[in-house]
Amino acid sequence: MTTQNPAVRVRFAPSPTGYLHIGGARTALYNYLYAKAVGGTFVLRIEDTDLERSKAEYEALQIEDLKWLGIHHNEGPDKPNPKYAPYRQSERGEIYTKYAQQLIEKNLAYYDFCTDEELEEMKKRSELEGGDPRYDGKWKNPEFNAEAKKRVAAGEKCAIRFRAPDKAYTLNDKVKGEVTYPEGMVGDFVIVRSNGLPVYNYCCVVDDMLMEITHVIRGEDHLNNTVRQLMIYEALSAKPPQFAHVSLLIGHDRQKLSKRHGATSVNLYKNEHYLPEALCNYLTLLGWSHPKETDIFDKEELFDIFDIERFSAHSAMYDLEKLKWVNGQHIKKLATPDLLKLVEELPETEFLKKQTPAWKTAAVESAKPYVHFLNEIPVFINNTFLKESFEMTDALKEILGWETTPKIVDYIHGEISKVTTEYITEVELNGWMDHVKKELAIKGKPLFQGVRATLTGQDHGPELKLIIPLTPVNVLKKRVSELKK
């Protein structure tokens, strides 16, 4: 059991600029599971300082997707704790201004009036000299302080730039181990843009500091950002949280997961009828290993065992076929009455309303081993039990071409024409099978495949004793009659 630590506070901080990405969902899931495991607090914070791209409807959709996945936050815009609110960065402007001013007063940041043209010229000059694009420090010189303050007092717009210390930084990451950022790796960087909006590396530090975040679990693509954040923590005399940079999700080409690798938003998986528990199960395994090496589980089973120490530092291959398999396993795990409820919520199941509860339950149970998605179940049920005609596949043609199969068709056609009940029983089916075996001397594969082909028009599927008693006799009669033509 993971050691309980209610003081732990973790956060998921999405930008509401689109649907919830599958990588973001994994980050949220890891933070949620860790908070559950240690009895801590899971915070949802909205990083919406990109005013042009951020939209309230995307925030609502992302929260809805998290709820669908069963990832529930303890604090957030809709569950505020007055001590830490507000939870939208767009509502925390005064806070960012306050701490930026403190950094300026301590000479740890300074006003920068460089124009875009000047910055572009600096970039070109650095590139010509063979170095990385870097700010040349024009406004950091003390001689400009008085002029800068005068221009700010006059209402002139400018950026605020952080003085990057000339020293190396070391991060003890919970996944990557010891990471050293050499001296001079980054130059002075902007923390507040000239339009007054804070940049990511600055406001996330201020927020994590004030919200008392103890652990930051996020993708390793943020690893390079961390040196800037460590500098700001130091400047604010704040203790950095524990960092755990989890491996990236990659496609089969070993490139970062993108749209070309398939569905990348949670919303698409929802629309494609994946089960939320299956998606959570699969995402958990993309960078974390179960102590019992179990592949299939519900996330609630992890609440006592989820541990940061089991994160992998290696990139995780995103495999849609494996996800499809995991989804099928979760369908098999579901109690049949619960699965039936989900199936009946699908739009293409009107035909099921005509059936009895017992029939529907038995039909859904028979479908479990043969489907990977919810929407495949009504198709399976219709094709297996209710479809009167069938496709003449090569496999079916082969079975019908055996010399024994026409004898089976003739016999069953004669027997089923006498049936007056709505369904035949398993006993009646067994009687037909015994007759074919004993009187027609047909055994083994020709017997079982021949009877299946005659009654179902298929070469494989669930046991006949399970499906034939659920298939209406009028459907069976039409199938057999079609073979007699």
- The stretch 468-484 carries a mean pLDDT of 93
CATH number reported for the structural domain that contains residue 224 in this entry: 3.40.50.620
**Strand 41-44 to 109-112 pairing:** unpaired
Confidence band, pLDDT 50/70/90 cuts, at residue 123: low
Helix or strand holding residue 225 (H, E): none
Asked if residue 303 belongs to a domain, the reply is: no
Confidence band, pLDDT 50/70/90 cuts, at residue 109: very high
Question: Does 259 participate in catalysis according to the annotation?
Answer: yes
Asked if residue 327 belongs to a domain, the reply is: no
DSSP annotation of 375 reads T
CATH number reported for the structural domain that contains residue 452 in this entry: 1.10.10.350
Confidence band, pLDDT 50/70/90 cuts, at residue 437: very high
Reduce the DSSP state of residue 244 to 3 states and report it: strand
- Backbone Cα Rg of the chain: 32
* DSSP per-residue string spanning 158-190: -EEEE---SS-EEEEETTTEEEEE-TTSS--EE
Burial 27-63 (b: 16+ CB within 10 A, else e): bbbbbbbbbbbbebbbbbbbbbbeeeebeeebbebbb
What single letter denotes the amino acid at residue 138? Answer: K
- The stretch 275-303 carries a mean pLDDT of 95
Confidence band, pLDDT 50/70/90 cuts, at residue 139: confident
The residue among 246, 277, 306 that closes a domain is 246
- The stretch 53-60 carries a mean pLDDT of 94
- The stretch 445-450 carries a mean pLDDT of 95
Asked if residue 7 belongs to a domain, the reply is: no
Q: CA 138, CA 66: separation in Å to the nearest integer?
A: 46
Please give the model's pTM, rounded to 2 decimal places: 0.91
Asked if residue 331 belongs to a domain, the reply is: no
* Side-chain-facing half-sphere of 320: CA atoms under 13 Å: 13
The residue among 184, 212, 246 that closes a domain is 246
| 142 pLDDT above the threshold of 70 | no
Counting the structural domains of the chain, the total is 2
Q: What is the pLDDT of residue 348?
A: 85
Percentage with pLDDT > 70 across the chain: 94
Residue 228: which of 188, 178, 177, 175 has the closest Cα? 188
Asked if residue 238 belongs to a domain, the reply is: yes
Asked if residue 162 belongs to a domain, the reply is: yes
- The stretch 344-367 carries a mean pLDDT of 92
Residue 95: which of 241, 232, 218, 206 has the closest Cα? 206
Q: 135 is written with which tokens? A: 């700010």
Q: Could you tell me the residue range of the domain that residue 451 belongs to?
A: 394-484
Q: What is the Cα 4 distance to its own chain's centre?
A: 27
Asked if residue 355 belongs to a domain, the reply is: no
What single letter denotes the amino acid at residue 136? Answer: D
| 130 pLDDT above the threshold of 90 | no
Q: Which of 79, 83, 256, 259 is catalytic?
A: 259
Q: 386 is written with which tokens? A: 């209710």
- The stretch 9-38 carries a mean pLDDT of 96
What single letter denotes the amino acid at residue 77? Answer: P
What is Dmax (Cα atoms) for the chain? 110
Confidence band, pLDDT 50/70/90 cuts, at residue 118: low
Q: CA 149, CA 152: separation in Å to the nearest integer?
A: 5
* Side-chain-facing half-sphere of 19: CA atoms under 13 Å: 13
Average pLDDT, rounded, for the chain:
92
Q: CA 319, CA 55: separation in Å to the nearest integer?
A: 31
- pLDDT tens column, 327-337: 999 999 999 99
What single letter denotes the amino acid at residue 71? Answer: I
Asked if residue 87 belongs to a domain, the reply is: no
- pLDDT tens column, 410-429: 999 999 999 999 999 999 99
Confidence band, pLDDT 50/70/90 cuts, at residue 143: low
Identify the burial level of 273 via C-beta atoms within 10 angstroms of its C-beta, where 0-12 means exposed, 13-18 middle and 19 or more buried: middle
Cβ neighbours of residue 373 under 8 Å, at least 6 residues apart?
A: 272, 273, 274, 324, 327, 328, 331
Instruction: Judge contact between 175 and 246, C-beta under 8 A.
Output: yes
Q: What is the pLDDT of residue 146?
A: 74
The residue among 195, 228, 246 that closes a domain is 246
- The stretch 372-396 carries a mean pLDDT of 92
At 82, give phi and psi (nearest 5°). Answer: -55, -25
Helix or strand holding residue 128 (H, E): helix 116-128
Cβ neighbours of residue 266 under 8 Å, at least 6 residues apart?
A: 19, 20, 21, 22, 25, 65, 68, 69, 279
Helix or strand holding residue 298 (H, E): none
